[in-house]
Structure 1
Amino acid sequence: MRGRMTDTDAPPDALMLFDGVCHLCDGVVRTVMRLDRHGVIRFTPIQSPFGRRLATRHGLDPDAPESFLFLDRGRPLRKTAALAALLRRLPAPWRWFASVERLPRGVTDRAYDFVAAHRYRIFGKDDQCQIPTPELRGRFLLD
């Protein structure tokens, strides 16, 4: 699953849709890329053409994202469920943190919502998305 993807292609797997101007989100992407040594997880910023289509298709406002989206075997997941699915794709010991999904969902999703609502103020944001380096570009879907 490299490069261009059309709307008629099979649903992507292990794809993280993230806010490309958010410093927190960018830091999470960089950390996941470093931990995911086999390159299983792919990324698309919500500001890219593909990211905007994907967000809209799954009910996220691409101009005001309140959550990241993780596609796990074609299933769109948000908030705690998305975080747990993403963590399960990482090597040990990181995958063990997927146990966050065993905590009460109302509590964890509210904590997620709080951080998401204040992320720009706490962590900052850029005016535009970072451009991936040539060696990492194959892990990003943009078109």
Structure 2
Amino acid sequence: MQKSSSIILFDGVCNLCNGFVQFIIRHDAAGYFRFAALQSAEGQALLAAHGISLPALSDPDSVVLVADGQAYQHSTAVLRIARRLGGIWPVLAIGLLVPRAWRDAAYRLVARNRYRWFGRQEACLLPTPALKSRFLGS
């Protein structure tokens, strides 16, 4: 893994989360981000290394960004990811000025309803051969 990369842990069976990963891949021309499903052995190892336990891996409630030796969750993870993307997306990082409690309340509203609104898959996303190197454990 490159020293200058960060890892995004995501719910591998969530359609919204998989769409978010595809969005990041499209807007991360430098290939800065790598990915792992929260449910994977690699994802579990990273969570444990950062002292994070999610309520239920069958319904994890957060995306996790591991960057610079830190782990970020919920809205902070999403906004820090946006800051590293190309195009206009870094502007969203201004949301970090909003109190975290408010940001996370909105984040959790979407997280609680994401399967109902966007659906879920039976198995985790399988990367294409061209993207395989960006996914841990692939």
Normalised by the length of structure 1, the TM-score is 0.86
Query: Which residue of structure 2 lines up, in the alignment, with residue 30 of structure 1?
Result: 22
Query: How many corresponding residue pairs?
Result: 135
Counterpart code for 1:36? D
Query: Which residue of structure 1 lines up, in the alignment, with residue 72 of structure 2?
Result: 77
Contact map agreement 1:33 1:39 (CA 8 A) in 2: yes
- The CA distance in 1 between the partners of 2:131 and 2:37, in whole Å, is 14
Q: Deviations over 1:15-66 (max 9, x none)?
A: 1000010000000000000000110011001121111222344222433311
Query: Which residue of structure 1 lines up, in the alignment, with residue 60 of structure 2?
Result: 65
- The CA distance in 1 between the partners of 2:58 and 2:115, in whole Å, is 14
Q: Does 1:45 align with 2:37?
A: yes
Counterpart code for 1:59? S
Contact map agreement 1:52 1:62 (CA 8 A) in 2: no
- The CA distance in 1 between the partners of 2:7 and 2:96, in whole Å, is 19
Q: What is the Cα deviation at residue 13 of structure 1?
A: 4.5
SS in 2 for 1:125: coil
- The CA distance in 2 between the partners of 1:53 and 1:18, in whole Å, is 14
Query: Which residue of structure 2 lines up, in the alignment, with residue 15 of structure 1?
Result: 7
Contact map agreement 1:41 1:139 (CA 8 A) in 2: yes
- The CA distance in 1 between the partners of 2:5 and 2:11, in whole Å, is 19
Q: Deviations over 1:70-125 (max 9, x none)?
A: 01211000112111211111123111111111112211100101110111011000
Query: Which residue of structure 2 lines up, in the alignment, with residue 142 of structure 1?
Result: 137
Percent sequence identity is 37
Q: CA RMSD in A?
A: 1.9
- The CA distance in 1 between the partners of 2:77 and 2:95, in whole Å, is 11
